[in-house]
């Protein structure tokens, strides 16, 4: 499972955080299933954009990227991202592997020398055709493009048009359904060979066998997915490749759904199984951008509320095919109405009574009929984190309803023991099910009910074997007038 490797020209924002959190949710879910997971993230450190950012900061490129990369690592730590590896494209091992990858494409006669004359979008590191320009600007980001004319090596992408269409046809799960027509139509309309080297951008991997040229940053970047596993020849590569899923935002779908599989076909390497693409975040209806000054900082949000609250919000709001909108008011609403009112209160109310109950906690599993794991599993299988969360929430709501229907505060003796048994077992199961989404709240529930953190196989009612250790609220209610 992979995220994009992010450009190290700035600090990560909500957009980067959301992709990485989604990937983390899926990685944690698969670990809960008892599977071994290799979850990869990292940074894209070469290219013109970084070269320019370094110059602006009056630093050498390597010194510049070294000073930025920790921003990413810190944010991932703060957001409890459980990546197994962090690749930097300036890692020696990656550079050496890219130098071995390109000759494979040469050996298939898939690379030739020519000249590129056309437009280039530096912020997106993309070659843009004249016909693609929108009002003279980049069709993807709307920013200025520059004209370039230079000798270049080309990859015969055009050769892979039919092979790609056949592959999409044979693997209906490969493309993200929400964007698949767009990709297929564009591929059908014809593929142009891709410029894969630059002579004017020197902050890049030297192009093998021609010292005038440097590897185009996207070729360098895409290859990270295999070099991070130690390709070629490593045991880890044999074990974990092909990737089950590459996760990303919609603007880089083309690179992953078209260029990357064509490169792998040429190199004779197995293709990833699935490209999962999500929409973009806007902020209160506007594009998130530095110039508007509305860039959402995942660290600031986590510090003000909690990283769990941010993770929960991301999972509840995002889905493929549609853009999501961030507003602090909406986040607060979800914190107060869902995290505090549904989950936090359940734990607090039940533990307040449970800690005073002196007897043995036992009973018959009445709440188990409200627990249906099948739709949760089915949603996760489809990478529908939001759908799975909705099903988990149904169980949380059912537990709350049980508290009210039974009026547990009025119960005594065996009836109280039975109700507590049901609710504490439900909480133990909830703590497992929410772990991929909110690892801190999950650990806190386990701690407060005194049970070990389980796997998905433990999500069934058994004997309650915990020991109550109640402490503070899981989530703090936000005073809407005062903020957090």
Binding residues (CB under 6 A) for ligand ME8: these are 4-7, 15-16, 18-19, 44, 221-222, 224, 248-249, 251-252, 280-281, 288
Structure token pair of residue 183: 């990709």
CA 390 to chain centre: 19
Q: Strands 281-283 and 146-155, how do they pair?
A: unpaired
Residue with tokens 């794991």: 373
152 vs 198: CA distance, rounded Å: 6
Structure token pair of residue 372: 């249906």
Q: What are phi and psi of 155, to 5 degrees?
A: -100, 130
66 vs 183: CA distance, rounded Å: 36
Least separation in angstroms between residue 460's CB and ligand ME8 is 36
Supply the DSSP symbol for 341: I
Least separation in angstroms between residue 222's CB and ligand ME8 is 5
Which residue of the chain is nearest ligand ME8 when measured via CB? 15
251 vs 368, which CB is nearer to ligand ME8?
251
Least separation in angstroms between residue 450's CB and ligand ME8 is 39
249 vs 375, which CB is nearer to ligand ME8?
249
Least separation in angstroms between residue 476's CB and ligand ME8 is 27
302 vs 446, which CB is nearer to ligand ME8?
302
Q: What are phi and psi of 123, to 5 degrees?
A: -55, -35
CA distances from 89 to 228, 259, 388, 409 (A): 9, 19, 34, 59
452 vs 202: CA distance, rounded Å: 53
290 vs 482, which CB is nearer to ligand ME8?
290
Least separation in angstroms between residue 318's CB and ligand ME8 is 8
197 vs 253, which CB is nearer to ligand ME8?
253
CB-based contact 280:249 (threshold 8 Å): yes
Least separation in angstroms between residue 261's CB and ligand ME8 is 13
Q: Strands 286-287 and 194-195, how do they pair?
A: unpaired
297 vs 73: CA distance, rounded Å: 14
16 vs 428, which CB is nearer to ligand ME8?
16
Q: Which residue in 420, 386, 376 sits closest to 402, CA to CA?
A: 420
- Other C-beta atoms closer than 10 Å to the C-beta of 265 total 18
Least separation in angstroms between residue 44's CB and ligand ME8 is 3
Least separation in angstroms between residue 235's CB and ligand ME8 is 24
212 vs 202: CA distance, rounded Å: 9
222 vs 416, which CB is nearer to ligand ME8?
222
Least separation in angstroms between residue 15's CB and ligand ME8 is 2
Least separation in angstroms between residue 273's CB and ligand ME8 is 17
169 vs 481: CA distance, rounded Å: 54
44 vs 338, which CB is nearer to ligand ME8?
44
SS3 state of residue 479: strand
122 vs 446, which CB is nearer to ligand ME8?
122
Q: Based on the number of CB atoms within 10 Å of its own CB, is 113 exposed (0-12), middle (13-18) or buried (19 or more)?
A: exposed
């Amino acid at each position: 499972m992979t995220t994009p490797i992010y450009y190290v020209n700035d600090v990560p924002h909500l957009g980067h955080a959301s992709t990485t959190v989604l990937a983390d949710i899926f990685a944690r879910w698969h670990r809960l299933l008892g599977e071994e997971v290799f979850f990869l993230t990292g940074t894209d450190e070469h290219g013109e954009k970084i070269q320019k950012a370094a110059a602006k900061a009056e630093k050498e490129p390597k010194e510049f990227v070294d000073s930025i990369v920790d921003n990413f690592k810190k944010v991932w730590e703060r957001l409890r991202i459980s990546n197994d590896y962090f690749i930097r494209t300036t890692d020696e091992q990656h550079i050496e592997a890219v130098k071995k990858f390109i000759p494979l494409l040469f050996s298939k006669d898939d690379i030739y020398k020519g000249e590129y004359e056309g437009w280039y979008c530096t912020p997106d590191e993309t070659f843009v055709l004249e016909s693609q320009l929108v009002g003279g600007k980049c069709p993807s980001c709307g920013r200025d493009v520059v004209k370039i004319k230079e000798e270049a090596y080309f990859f015969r992408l055009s050769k892979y048009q039919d092979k790609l269409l056949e592959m999409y046809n044979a693997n209906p799960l490969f493309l993200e359904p929400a964007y698949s027509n767009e990709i297929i139509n564009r591929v059908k309309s014809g593929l142009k060979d891709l410029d894969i080297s630059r002579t004017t951008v020197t902050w890049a991997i030297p192009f093998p066998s021609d010292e005038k040229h440097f590897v185009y940053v996207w070729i360098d970047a895409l290859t990270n997915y295999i070099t991070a596993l130690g390709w070629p020849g490593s045991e880890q590569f044999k074990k974990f490749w092909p990737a089950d899923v590459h996760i990303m935002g919609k603007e880089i779908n083309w690179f992953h759904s078209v260029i990357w599989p064509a490169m792998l076909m040429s190199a004779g390497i197995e293709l990833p199984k699935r490209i999962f693409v999500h929409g973009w975040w806007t902020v209160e209806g506007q594009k998130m951008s530095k110039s508007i000054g509305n860039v959402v900082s995942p660290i600031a949000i986590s510090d003000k509320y909690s990283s769990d609250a941010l993770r929960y919000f991301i999972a509840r709001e995002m889905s493929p095919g549609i853009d999501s909108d961030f507003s602090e008011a909406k986040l607060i609403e979800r914190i107060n109405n869902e995290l505090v009112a549904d989950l936090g209160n359940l734990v607090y109310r039940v533990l307040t009574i449970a800690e005073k109950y002196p007897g043995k906690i036992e009973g018959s599993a009445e709440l188990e009929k409200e627990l249906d794991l099948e739709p949760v599993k089915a949603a996760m299988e489809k990478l529908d984190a939001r759908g799975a969360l909705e099903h988990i929430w149904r169980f949380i709501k059912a537990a709350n309803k049980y508290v009210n229907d039974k009026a547990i505060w009025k119960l005594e003796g065996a009836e109280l023991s039975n109700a507590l048994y049901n609710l504490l077992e439900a909480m133990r199961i909830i703590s497992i099910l929410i772990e991929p989404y909110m690892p801190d709240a999950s650990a806190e529930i386990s701690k407060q009910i005194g049970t070990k953190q389980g796997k998905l196989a433990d999500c069934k009612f058994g004997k309650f074997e915990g020991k109550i250790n109640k402490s503070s609220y899981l989530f703090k209610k936000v005073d809407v007038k005062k903020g957090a």
